[in-house]
Amino acid sequence: MSSPTLWLTSKRGKARDEGVNYYSAAQAKAPQALLATEPLAKEQRAHLLGADCFCGCSNETACSASARRSLKTNLCKWCDSTSPACEEKVCYSNCNLNSYCEDPYEICVAIWRQDNESIRISTLCHNPHRPIENLMVPNYNTSRCIMAHQPSEDGIMYICGCVDEQECNDKLIFENHTNGYSMLQSKEVIPVAAISLLPPLLVAVMITVVFYLCRTQKRRKRAKAWGGKPGQPPALPEPRRAAEREEKLSVLMDESLAGASPNCASSRPTELLPIELDEMVGKGRFAEVWRARLSHSRSGQYETVAVKIFPCEEYSSWKNESQIFTDTSLKHESVLQFLTAEDRGSGPRREYWLITAYHSRGNLKDYLSRHILSWIDLQKMAGSLVSGVAHLHSDYTACGQPKIPIAHRDIKSTNVLVKNEQECVLCDFGIAIRLDPSLTVDDFANSGQASMTPQPSLEDPL
């Protein structure tokens, strides 16, 4: 080996050549080890620390850093313990310190330690051929620090290694596993979510139980009202009582027949209301609708009413609608008010009348063609219509009395009358049907059909 004096007086090229020979003779020791153990000349130290130092670097610390860079060592994050910052499957070490590795073969390593209370990250340089925490670093020949789960008795542990990129152990990637931070957060969220969901769950259960009890109680009341047992359909009323209900009108009528045409029914003359027809306001398939005046003999005043007049050929339609109207449970603020039913005239000129309340605004179709509704009026008008339909379909009246549901079967804008700017009423029950649970399928098929209901004739027995 050349003496230090020879190095000081030699030329630059010779110093570089002898420095290379010295490095080879030292069996590839690290530059720092050589500088610490051998008394070298300044030019020798400069060659070992790097060409930049030889060319005029006076700061030995800067020359050491330059030497490490020239030997392509990795720049890594280096902290004993930090708390990570995570987002989905990527975490950052939150380490503010870095350092070049001492040896070029050392890699950047990050160790993730997790227990029930905290997560800690250790970052450092490490020889991948040696174990760390009694574990070998897997898959470190990459520029991405991909976390790999490792067995541990002290909790959850992940480890990763990377090279060829500055501070590559700062960004920790979880590709095949949920990161421990998310797992820790989820463990904290589960009890909070369970406690938060418990009250609405209990409320839902209570509402379900109350609804079930109310429904069961309604069925029991209905069965009791009809005199039957729970779970069985109401029994059909006695034929005599059913006949009385079907034929019970505001003005009592009798089915005994008098001299009339074979196609028309007749009834015993009854006291007719003092009604004077004024003007026809509508005409349908089975009947005409007139505006009329109902006189009050005592006061001398009159009341405007509507009269629906059926010819004798449409007796069955009149009979079906009158039976629907005369059901006292039909009364509702959203159903057309019924006054009475009458048959007038004789022979082929016999007519059948239904007398109801009169609404001057006409049907809904004509009203909407002349008026534009505000949102509030539309909401209230639609609400009244829905209320009327719900009453028809209900098993009980508003007072809680049992009733037979009714299906209108012909709801349309021309069969809805406008009561006022915010209310409607249902009318025209010509093909409506009573949903009596005791009726058979054939009864439902034929009920309410004007064309299929038989008409009484003179040949029927008295």
CB 350 within 8 A of CB 266: yes
Point out the residues that are catalytic: 410
Residue 67 confidence (pLDDT): 52
386 or 439: which leads in pLDDT: 386
User: What confidence tens digit (pLDDT) does each residue in 232-251 have?
Assistant: 444 444 444 434 434 433 33
Here the tokens at position 379 are 């909401």
Domain covering 75-177: architecture? Ribbon (2.10)
Whether 308 has a binding-site annotation, put simply, is: yes
User: What confidence tens digit (pLDDT) does each residue in 417-429 have?
Assistant: 999 988 999 999 9
Q: What are phi and psi of 166, to 5 degrees?
A: -65, 135
Q: Which positions ≥6 away from 206 have C-beta within 8 Å? A: none
Which one-letter amino acid corresponds to residue 190? I
Where is average pLDDT lowest: 8-22, 303-317, 320-334, 442-456?
8-22
Q: Which positions ≥6 away from 222 have C-beta within 8 Å? A: 234, 395, 396, 402
Statement: residue 397 has pLDDT above 90: no
What value does the mean pLDDT of the chain take? Answer: 74
How far apart are alpha carbons 171 and 94 in whole angstroms? 9
Residue 38 confidence (pLDDT): 44
For the chain, what is the HEC assignment? CCCHHHHHHCCHHHHHHHHHHHHHHCCCCCHHHHHHHCCCCHHHHHHHHCHHHHCCCCCHHHHHHHHHHHCCCCEEECEEEECCEEECCEEECCCCCEEECCCCCCEEEEEEEECCCCEEEEEEEECCCCCECCECCCCCCCCCEECEEECCCCCEEEEEEECCCCCCCCEEECCCCCCHHHHHHHHHHHHHHHHHHHHHHHHHHHHHHHHHHHHHHHHHHHHHHCCCCCCCCCCCCCHHHHHHHHHCCCCCCCCCCCCCCCCCCCCCCCCCCCEEEEEEEEECCCCEEEEEEEECCCCCCEEEEEEEEEEHHHHHHHHHHHHHHCCHHHCCCCECCEEEEEEECCHHHCEEEEEEECCCCCEHHHHHHHCCCCHHHHHHHHHHHHHHHHHHHCCECCCCCECCCEECCCCCHHHEEEEECCEEEECCCCCCEECCCCCCHHHHHHCCCCCCCCCCCCCCCC
Residue 389 confidence (pLDDT): 94
- What is the pLDDT confidence band of residue 48, given thresholds at 50, 70 and 90? very low
- What is the pLDDT confidence band of residue 448, given thresholds at 50, 70 and 90? low
Residue 352 confidence (pLDDT): 92
How much is the pTM?
0.42
Residue 44 confidence (pLDDT): 44
- Range with the largest mean pLDDT of 45-49, 222-226, 282-286, 295-299: 282-286
167 or 189: which leads in pLDDT: 167
Residue 116 confidence (pLDDT): 77
Where is average pLDDT lowest: 172-181, 209-218, 251-260?
251-260
Statement: residue 125 has pLDDT above 90: yes
Q: What are phi and psi of 116, to 5 degrees?
A: -70, -15
How far apart are alpha carbons 337 and 459 in whole angstroms? 35
- What is the pLDDT confidence band of residue 134, given thresholds at 50, 70 and 90? confident
Q: What are phi and psi of 117, to 5 degrees?
A: -115, -25
Where, residue-wise, is CATH 1.10.510.10 in the chain? 239-446
CB 114 within 8 A of CB 151: no
For the domain with range 239-446, which CATH number is right: 4.10.640.10, 1.10.510.10, 2.40.420.20, 3.90.650.10? Answer: 1.10.510.10
Here the tokens at position 355 are 């007398």
Residue 372 confidence (pLDDT): 92
How far apart are alpha carbons 278 and 1 in whole angstroms? 139
- What is the pLDDT confidence band of residue 180, given thresholds at 50, 70 and 90? low
Where, residue-wise, is CATH 2.10.60.10 in the chain? 75-177
How far apart are alpha carbons 246 and 404 in whole angstroms? 13
Where is average pLDDT lowest: 55-69, 156-170, 331-345, 426-440?
55-69
Residue 59 confidence (pLDDT): 54
Residue 14 confidence (pLDDT): 39
How far apart are alpha carbons 460 and 260 in whole angstroms? 12
Q: Which positions ≥6 away from 343 have C-beta within 8 Å? A: 253, 265, 266, 267, 350, 351, 352, 353
